[in-house]
């Protein structure tokens, strides 16, 4: 198995898939809807509302699109052929990780284009969000894809993995926030939760308002998930 060929295959697969373009389109529509409301309906919104509405679907769809790079192989039951050597398993994981980075880059670039076009449309300035959008979507996508890749090494029901992924992004942070607001946890537990990527990534991907500590935690989490995914994929029987 040649890693570069597998990465190139995944990239071509993304660009010929209608789901890729539909995902990007569905992500930008709510954002432009808010931009229209600001311009024509005097809506009480700003550029962060635009990026938040982009993330409304974009944050979910970028993860789903990236997960399909390996869940399709699980569904089609071809992993046994691909994983005939342990070295191939490591190459496979690395290739899917690069694919996830590429998807995050696509969604980040699209978000940046939404920001630039909204700037021109609304006559505002938000150039501080250009690079943030790209970096944040790459980190966001990488974290969740590695998390669910790890789960997929020992649980291979694809539909369930997708459902859990969607709920972890769209529902789990709100559930945790409700529990925090209701004073269910002591302060020390709240502090730990607030610096957990599963909590702060979905909440802040819309505003891109990550602290330096949150960036460090996210990067360390990605490294950790990559290593435990490598360990797990080498030990599993396929």
Q: pLDDT tens, 88-127?
A: 899 999 999 999 999 999 999 999 999 999 999 998 888 7
Res 165: pLDDT = 97
Q: Are 23 and 15 in contact (CB under 8 A)?
A: no
What six digits make up the tokens of 107?
């969604």
Structure token pair of residue 116: 């630039």
Residue whose structure tokens are 């909590």: 199
Q: Report d(CA 138, CA 136) in Å as an integer.
A: 5
What pLDDT does residue 182 have?
84
Confidence at residue 175, expressed as pLDDT on a 0 to 100 scale: 93
Mean pLDDT of 74-87: 82
pLDDT digits 0-9 by tens, 166-216:
999 999 999 999 988 888 888 888 899 999 999 999 999 999 999 999 999
Distance CA 111, CA 137 (A): 9
197-204 and 130-152 are packed helices; what angle lies between their axes, rounded to 10 degrees? 140
In this prediction the pTM is: 0.94
DSSP labels, 87-117: HHHHHHHHHHHHHHHHHHHHHHHHHHHHHHH
Two tokens at 141?
Answer: 């996508």
Q: Are 180 and 193 in contact (CB under 8 A)?
A: yes
pLDDT at position 42 = 81
| Model confidence at 217: pLDDT above 80 | yes
């Amino acid at each position: 198995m040649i890693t570069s060929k597998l990465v190139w295959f995944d990239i071509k697969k993304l660009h010929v898939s209608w789901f890729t373009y539909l995902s990007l389109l569905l992500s930008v529509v709510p954002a432009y809807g808010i931009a229209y409301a600001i311009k024509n309906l005097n809506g009480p919104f700003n550029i962060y509302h635009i990026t938040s509405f982009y993330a409304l679907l974009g944050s979910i769809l970028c993860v789903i699109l990236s997960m399909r790079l390996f869940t399709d192989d699980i569904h089609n039951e071809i992993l046994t052929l691909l994983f005939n050597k342990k070295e191939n398993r490591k190459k496979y994981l690395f290739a899917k990780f690069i694919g996830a980075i590429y998807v995050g880059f696509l969604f980040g670039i699209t978000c940046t284009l939404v920001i630039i076009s909204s700037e021109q449309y609304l006559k505002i300035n938000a150039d501080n969000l250009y690079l943030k959008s790209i970096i944040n979507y790459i980190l966001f996508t990488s974290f969740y894809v590695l998390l669910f890749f790890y789960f997929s090494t020992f649980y291979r029901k694809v539909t369930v993995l997708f459902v859990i992924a969607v709920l972890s992004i769209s529902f789990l942070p709100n559930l945790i926030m409700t529990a925090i607001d209701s004073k269910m946890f002591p302060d020390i537990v709240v502090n730990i939760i607030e610096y957990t990527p599963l909590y702060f990534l979905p909440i802040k991907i819309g505003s891109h308002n990550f602290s330096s500590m949150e960036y460090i935690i996210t990067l360390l989490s990605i490294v950790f998930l990559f290593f435990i995914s490598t360990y797990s994929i080498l030990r599993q029987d396929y």
